Chain A
Amino acid sequence: MNFFRLLRKATQPGDRWLMALSALLLIGYAGFGAGQRGTLVTIHRDNQPLNRLALAEDSSLLVAGRLGSVTVEVKGGRARLLEYDSPRMIGTRTGWIEKAGEIAVCVPCGILIQIQGEEANPTSSKLNSHGLDGIAR
């Protein structure tokens, strides 16, 4: 109660407009960032792009990491990283990722997967056709 009285006393109309406007913009920004679903998951090894998988179809891919093999699993529009030989399993414990920009990383394996949004990759099908997936599947 006291807090709101102080707030009213401390602010002028200009302050209140700024507060309302910035709060609205922030809520919009946070909501927009949270709403974007991805279409692809890209796989990187040692910061080099290695392969991509479409999120639309369920699949899994075995990737050679520095500590042994790592599985990237895609199911129901989400992706996850399954490690077997990583000391802390951080990438696996990240769980399923699905929003554009989200990542799961296994640092000791040198493997990073990231979800890509709508506009990101016109070349995805081309890369997919000569990527590793034919061998690994």
Chain B
Amino acid sequence: MNRAPRPDLLIAYLAAAAVAAHILEAAIPAPGPWFKIGLANMFTLVAFFHLGWSAAALVSLMRVMAGSLLLGTFLSPTFFLSLSGAIGAVLVMGLVPLLPFRVGPVGVSILASLTHMVCQVVVAWWLIIGHDGIFLALPWFLIGSWFTGLLNGLLAYLILTRLAAHQSMNLQW
């Protein structure tokens, strides 16, 4: 999997891009903290397919930490929502290679996106809302995250094809 001679640099660049996407997206008005496209997650996907699972986990966790520090939500309920979703999604990514068939960025993205939503709603129920009524809305949230997962998967695919095309550059800095 380790095709780049300096994977640490690529991880840092991907994490920086993810933090930037995270903060840009926070500027887009949304009806609630869990109705986001999650554009930052496409960089996690790129890390997963280009460098492997541990790189994806690093990019994802660094994005949540740095993003929340910059937005001032560190250790707030929003942060825990974000963190739970990120951890859940990364764990599911780790299970994907165990599947009996090969799955590309789109499939992984949809799986991770659905997991992200389930984790967030469970944590929101636990920390913030505390009312079972929230689970009534879960299927509709999940339908939304299916589509955002598809979008992020396609974007990650586009980035990955370009990364592969530039492999001759060998990513040396």
Contact = CB atoms under 8 A, between A and B. Distances in A.
Interface of A: 6-7, 10-15, 17-19, 22-23, 26, 29-30, 33, 99, 101-103, 114
B7 interface: no
Interface residues of B, number: 27
Contacts of A114: 133
Contacts of A99: 136
B49 to A, nearest CB: 12
B106 interface: yes
B106 A19 contact: yes
B136 A12 contact: no
Interface string B56-87: 00000000000000000000000000000000
B135 A22 contact: no
Contacts of B163: none
A14 B143 contact: no
A10 B157 contact: yes
A109 B153 CA distance: 47
B98 interface: no
A10 B105 contact: yes
Contacts of B99: 14
Given A7-B154, A26-B146, A103 B139 contact: no
Contacts of B105: 10
B37 interface: no
Given A17-B101, A29-B139, 6 more contacts: A11-B106, A14-B102, A15-B107, A22-B114, A30-B139, A101-B133
Interface in B94-121: 99, 101-107, 110-111, 114
B20 interface: no
B103 A30 contact: no
B143 A22 contact: no
Nearest to A33: B139
B103 A15 contact: yes
A11 B104 contact: yes
A101 B142 CA distance: 18
Contacts of B154: 6-7, 10
A9 B50 CA distance: 18
B150 interface: yes
18 contacts: A7-B106, A7-B154, A10-B104, A11-B107, A13-B101, A14-B99, A14-B101, A14-B103, A15-B106, A15-B107, A15-B153, A19-B110, A22-B110, A22-B146, A26-B142, A33-B138, A103-B131, A103-B133
